[in-house]
Each structure stands twice: as structure tokens, then as C-alpha cells.
Structure 1
Amino acid sequence: MDRGRAGGALVGRLLRLVGSRPLTSYVVMTFALSWVWFGLALGVWGLPLQGAAGFLGTLLGPCLAGFALTALLRGWAGVRHLLRRLVLWRVAPGWYLIAVLAWPALLVAAVLALPGSPQAGGPPPVLSAAGFLGLYLSILVFGGPLGEEPGWRGFALPGLQERCGPLVGALLLGVLHGTWHLPIYLLIPGYNGAPPGLAAALGQFLLFVVGVTAGSVAVTWLFNNTRGSLLIAVLHHAATNTAGIVVSAVLPGTAVLPALGEVRLPLQIAAALLIIAATRGRLSYERYRRETAADGPWPQASGEPRGTTSPAR
């Protein structure tokens, strides 16, 4: 009986800690679960990242942490709310076009603008529309977007915007999201075009984190303009992951990888700065707050444990 009471007291303290530090709890849980899995799957067992190993890394980290903490802090009502955001499709059609097509189109334009870049030409694209759609959906499901966004944007972003403001929240989330990929760079030689050698790989990784941080500004802006639609975030994430394939298909006569290496990061930073300037650093956060006010405060925004109530702000 004493052991039962001691165990209950420990669980109670843990719940209070998570309730008072939900964002910290999310980060610790996400990194711990994913990094342990990546260490085993990639470092010990030597499994390929593409496929089950990578998909489970996202499910066991960002996704599981986001849903588990939502359930803990808000119960099944919170879980259903998070799931509804994942299928929130009733947004203006223009936001779909921006989420899916804007980034690949910008990359194509930037590659064509490079001095000495060959124009589109050469053999016709070998990837049919159906083939590209299948590849896009495969990357959407197994390449990270569907597994990551319920946690990063579904759980963490609303709280970070509430606590830190939209711009700082978006930048902080980008740093965390980018840093989360560190084991992949260390365990997979040449990942994402990283040069051989630890120092060179870490240098490439730091550039990647800068790019993800800049990209987080764009995703936050999309999120805030679509009532927090995780579907839009997932579609945009998948579009960025397949953008290189789009450039290869549109410009088959272009040396795509070297060109993308030149334009991707400057373009990410330029797009982020343009959004920041156009929204005065608010990233349309007031619109998000206004259109989601009826939902009440998210648990990670208020820091309240399940069962408490607070007026919508």
C-alpha cells in the first residue's frame, strides 16, 4: 500500500511537471524517442533511412510526443481537436497553391536566373504526372511530413507563438526541428549532400538548420493564415521535400544538384525576410488568434493540466 501511494505521488508530481512545462516536456520526449530509435536503426542495425526506419523515427518522436502530451493535458477532446486540424481542408484554394507550388516554382526561377545556367531542354522528363503524384504521396507519408507535423506544428507551434510571439516562436521551432536531424547527419555518410568527414558534415548540418529555421517562418505564416491547418503544413512540407525532383523534371538539361546547392539557402532566407517584412514580424498571428478563439487556449499555451478551464484569449 505504501508503495502504491509512493507510486501515485510520483505520477502526480510527473503530471504536474509536464503540466507546468509542456513545451520542454515535448522537446525532451521528442528528441529522446527519435534519437534512441535513429541510433539503433541507423547506427546499430544499419537500416536504410528511407522507408520504415525513417517513418518510425517520426512516429516515435514528434508524432507520439504531440499526441501523448495532448491526451495527457487535454484528454480525448484535445486529441480529437488535433486530429481535426490534421484534416482541416476548408481553406481558400490559394493557400493550397502557395503551400504546394510556390517553393518549387521559386527554385525553378532561381536556377534559371543563375549566370550561365542552361535553359530547360534535353530529354523529356521521365517521370509522368501519375508517377510524380505517387512519389509525392510516398514522401508525404513515409518521408517525414505526416509523422512530424502533428508534433512540430500541431503541438509545439501554438504554444511557442503564445509564449514567445510568432516570429521568435517560429525561429525557435525551426532551430529545434533542424537540430532534431543531427543523428541522421552523423550516422548516414553523405546525407543531404554532406561532404565526407565529421567537420564537413557538421558544417553542412549547420547550414541545414539555418534553412529549416528560415523555412519555419514560411510554414508558420501558412499555418496562421489557414486556421492552424496541419493538412496545409503537411502538404507544404512534402512539397519542399520533393522540390528537387520538380526542378529536375522541369529543367532536365540543368545540372540540378549544384544549382540547388547555390540557390536553396539564399532563397529560403530571402523568402523568410520577405514574409517578415510584409507582416511586420507578426506572421498573420492575429488572424490565427481571431479565427481560432472559439477553440480556447491550447494546453501548451496555458500550461494548465487536463481538467482546468480558462477563457479563450
Structure 2
Amino acid sequence: MTFPQRRPLVTFFLLAFGLTWLFWLPYVLSANGLGVLPWRFPAVLGSSQTLGVLPGAYLGPITSALLVTALTEGRSGLRRWARRLVRWRVGLRWYAGVLLVVPAAAVASTFLLPGAVDAAAWPALSVLAGYLPLLVLQVLTTGLAEEPGWRDFAQPRIQARFGPLPGSLLLGPLWGAWHLPLFFSEWAGWPDVDWSMPAEFVLGSTLLSIVLTWVFNRSESLPLVMLVHANVNTVFSLLWPEVFPRLDLFRDSLHAMVLSAGLAALVLIVATRGRLGLARADVIEPRMTPAMNG
């Protein structure tokens, strides 16, 4: 038995981190980041991240999940994995909830920050008109690049061993830490970055991971999870700066993410008693196959 067959989770995380960080290195070292290399990534579709960040993201979680699934489960496993990628048929209330609750929670939580009420403004109609197109783009980029790996491959295996809440508390920091090299680039406003920002980002990722675990377990729809993730990104990259133009884009948006994800996670933990949408029997006696072992 090969190492990926014995340790599929370890293999997945090694590949996800290794492939992504390797392909992000030129961006971090370029003039868009630390300035060690003499070139700058050009803006494509309005951002240098299109060429600097997105290729590494696609070569991380989704590619690693595909490779490990192929090595451990063969063609039948790949077919099952591919079918889950397009399991979009859930009730319309799910989609309506995601589209409405995510921006409402982000904006409402921001009002808890000092000075946020006085800093608030109505967004321009052009921002509202561009929201859905950007959301679709985020689904096809960030959502597609990440969630087939984090939520569809890693989460079921982790929660089968540890349970949904402990599993989320394990997966969340790993998911957040995967982004850490980007804090040395324009992605996080480098050089105006201090140690508290990546620490708060990892905390926010952990709290949001709890919410995404519930969405995935309850809906059994990976596209819906991708939509939640994409909507969070769309809110904080497009809508939030327009509603709170006088707040700090990087630091205050991190505070708002932690507050909104934390309140949602707390409600879900209490409401589900930590099961996060997973049936009690599956938490106590998880049915594991050899390929699910870490």
C-alpha cells in the first residue's frame, strides 16, 4: 500500500500547501509583494491576483483532492467526486438564504465596530448591479479552486474521525494558514501588515469553517458551499468598502468577518448541540473506509 493510500489526508494537505505555495512564490517575491524580484504582475480583470494568485489556488486544494482521490479510489472514486461537484439541486430557500443572509450578517456585524454607524453610506447602484456578476466569477474562481478540496475531500474524512465540531476546529486553521504567504503581497495590503492580521484571519477562517461545515452537512451540496464562500468574498471585496468607505479596508473588514462568522458559528453550535447538521449516529460511530484514514 502506497503512502497516499495509507495517509490520504496527510497527502492531500502536503500537496495542497506545497503546490499552492510554490506557485505563489513568484507573486510574493515580485514587486506586488516583497520586491525581491524586479517584475510586477500586471492587472488582469482589474487585479494582479488573476495571474499571481489564481493559478496557485487552482493547483492547490482542487488539484490535490483530484490526485489523491485518483490514487486511493481510482476511477469509481473520481466519478463519485465529480458528481458531488455538480450537486446543486437544493431548495430555493437555501440559495435565497445564502444570497441575503451573508451580506446582511457582514454589514450588521460591522455596525458593532466603533465609528461604523457614522462611517456608513449607501452603495452606488453600479455596485449593486455588479454584485451578481462578481459573485458568479468568485464561484468559478475562489469557490471552485478551494471547496472541492477543503469541504468535499477533507471535511468528511476529518469529521468521520473526530466529529463535526472538532473537525471544523482542525480544518479551519489549516484552511486559514494556507493563505498566509499572501499576507506578504498586495492581497493583504502589504507592507501595511502586522502579525495580528494573519492571526485574526486564521481565527475568522476557523469560525467560518464551522458555518461551512453545517451548510455542507445539512444541504449535502458542494455548489452551495462554494456559493457561501464566494459570497463572503464578494461582500468584503465589493459591497463592504462601499457601505463603510471610511473604515480600514483590511483591518476593519477582518474584525467584521470574525464578528459575523463568530456569531453565526455560536448560534449553529448551540442550535445543533455541536453536531453541525450531521446525524448523531454518524458522529458517535462514523463509518470509515480505509481511504478515509488520515
Question: TM-score normalised by the shorter chain: which range applies?
Answer: 0.7 to 0.9
2:195 counterpart of 1:196? no
Partner of 1:234: 226
Partner of 2:95: 96
Question: Does structure 1 retain, via aligned residues, the 8 Å contact 2:212–2:225?
Answer: yes
Alpha-carbon separation, structure 2, partners of 1:301 and 1:76: 17
Partner of 1:63: 62
Partner of 2:162: 164
Count of aligned pairs: 276
1:219 aligned to which of 212, 216, 231:
212
Q: Deviations over 1:15-54 (max 9, x none)?
A: 5221111111111111111111111343256436521332
2:60 aligned counterpart, secondary structure: helix
Alpha-carbon separation, structure 2, partners of 1:213 and 1:76: 33
2:275 aligned counterpart, secondary structure: coil
Question: Does structure 1 retain, via aligned residues, the 8 Å contact 2:183–2:189?
Answer: no
2:28 counterpart of 1:42? yes
Structure 2 vs 1, CA of residues 71 and 253 (structure 1 numbering), >3 Å: closer, same or farther? closer
Structure 1 residue 248, shift from structure 2 partner: 4.7
Structure 2 vs 1, CA of residues 174 and 122 (structure 1 numbering), >3 Å: closer, same or farther? closer
Question: Does structure 2 retain, via aligned residues, the 8 Å contact 1:62–1:152?
Answer: yes
Alpha-carbon separation, structure 1, partners of 2:21 and 2:281: 32
Structure 1 residue 288, shift from structure 2 partner: 10
Alpha-carbon separation, structure 1, partners of 2:164 and 2:209: 11
Question: Does structure 1 retain, via aligned residues, the 8 Å contact 2:103–2:235?
Answer: yes
Question: Does structure 2 retain, via aligned residues, the 8 Å contact 1:182–1:205?
Answer: yes
**Alpha-carbon RMSD:** 2.8
Q: Which amino acid aligns with 1:101?
A: L
Q: What fraction of aligned residue pairs are identical, expressed as a percent?
A: 36
Segments of structure 1 that go 5 or more residues without pairing to the other structure are 1-14, 304-313
Structure 1 residue 289, shift from structure 2 partner: 5.2
Structure 1 residue 301, shift from structure 2 partner: 2.1
Q: Which amino acid aligns with 1:233?
A: V
Structure 1 residue 276, shift from structure 2 partner: 0.8
Partner of 1:24: 10
Alpha-carbon separation, structure 1, partners of 2:289 and 2:83: 14
1:275 aligned counterpart, secondary structure: helix
2:178 counterpart of 1:183? no
Question: Does structure 2 retain, via aligned residues, the 8 Å contact 1:73–1:299?
Answer: no
Structure 1 residue 255, shift from structure 2 partner: 4.6
Structure 2 vs 1, CA of residues 60 and 288 (structure 1 numbering), >3 Å: closer, same or farther? farther
Alpha-carbon separation, structure 2, partners of 1:164 and 1:54: 32
Runs of 4+ in 1 over 6 A off after TM superposition: none
Partner of 1:243: 235
Partner of 2:273: 280
Alpha-carbon separation, structure 2, partners of 1:97 and 1:58: 28
Q: Give TM-score, length-normalised by structure 1.
A: 0.78
- Segment drifting more, 33-42 vs 164-173: 33-42
1:101-120 pair list within 5 angstroms? 101-112=100-111, 117-118=117-118
Structure 1 residue 78, shift from structure 2 partner: 1.1
Q: Which amino acid aligns with 2:210?
A: V
Structure 1 residue 121, shift from structure 2 partner: 5.0
- Segment drifting more, 35-44 vs 78-87: 35-44
